A and B are shown apart, each in its own frame.
Chain A
C-alpha cells in the first residue's frame, strides 16, 4: 500500500445531504473520482455504517468516522467534509440513538496498527472544541488542508502540496 496522501481535493466544504447515506455517497464518489478508492468502496462504506455506526458526540461539534475494508482502497487518505446542515448519524456502539454530525472524517485505510499515531492524533482533534468550530467556519479548502496537516502531522506525505 502506498503512502498516505492528503490533498485539498479530499476536502469537501459545506456539503449538502439529506441523510448519512447521501453524505457517504458524495464523499465516496469524490474519492473514487480521484482514484483513491475503487467504486466498490461506496456501497461497502454505506453498508458498514449501517451495521457499525460511527457517529461520535464530542464536547462540541459531533463528528463521524466512517471507514471500511482496505480491499476497496487504492491510496490511503482521510477525506473530510463539513456539512451545511447537521446530518444524523447513529452513535458508535448504540443501536438507534443518533447525533447531529457536522464534520465527517472518512478513513480510507489499510491494516490495523499501521496508522496508530494518525488515528490517535485524529481522536485528539475530537477533544478540541475550538479547533472543530474553526474547521466548520473555514471556507477555503487549502486553509483547511493546512490546518489539518498541522494537527495530524501530515507534512511529509507524498503527492501533496508543499506547505
Chain B
C-alpha cells in the first residue's frame, strides 16, 4: 500500500480539503492508500516510508519521493490534471 502525505503549512485548512479529495480519488479507482494529513514541517519524519507528497505549501527541500502541488484542488483550475498525476503515482 502506498503512503501518501498531504501537507500544508498549518495542517488545518487546505490539507483537510486536499486530504478528502485524494481519499475520494483513491476510492473511486479502487486503490487502497495510507493517507497522512500533516504539517509540511513533519514531512521529514516520513521520509523513509512515504511514496508521494501532495502539498499546498512551498517546498524547497528535495525528497526521495515525488511532490505534487495541490493548489488546483482549491481553485479548481487544472484539477483534473492534478488528479491524473496523483493517480499515475498511486498506480505505479
B-binding residues in A (CB < 8 A): 48, 51-53, 56-59, 65, 67-70, 91-95, 107, 109, 111-113, 115-116, 119-120, 123, 126-127
Contacts and interface: CB of A to CB of B under 8 A. Distances in A.
Contact of B10 (A48, A93, A94): A48
Given A93-B55, A112-B11, A59 B77 contact: yes
Contacts of A92: 14, 56-57, 71, 74
Sort A-B residue pairs by CB-CB distance and give the 7 closest, nearest first.
A52-B9, A127-B76, A119-B17, A112-B16, A52-B57, A93-B71, A67-B13
Interface in B34-66: 37, 40, 55-58, 60
26 contacts: A48-B10, A51-B9, A52-B9, A52-B57, A52-B58, A53-B58, A67-B10, A67-B12, A67-B13, A69-B10, A69-B12, A70-B12, A91-B71, A92-B56, A92-B57, A95-B58, A107-B13, A109-B12, A111-B12, A113-B37, A115-B13, A119-B13, A120-B20, A123-B74, A123-B76, A126-B74
B41 to A, nearest CB: 10
Interface string B3-15: 0000011111111
A59 B14 CA distance: 19
Nearest to B9: A52
A92 B9 CA distance: 10
Contacts of A52: 8-10, 40, 57-58
In the complex, which range does the number of interface residues on chain B fall in?
A: 20 to 34
A112 B18 CA distance: 12
Given A48-B9, A67-B10, A67-B12, A57 B20 contact: no
Contact of A93 (B12, B16, B37, B69): B69
Nearest to A62: B75
B17 A123 contact: yes
Given A92-B74, A123-B73, A126-B75, A116 B16 contact: yes
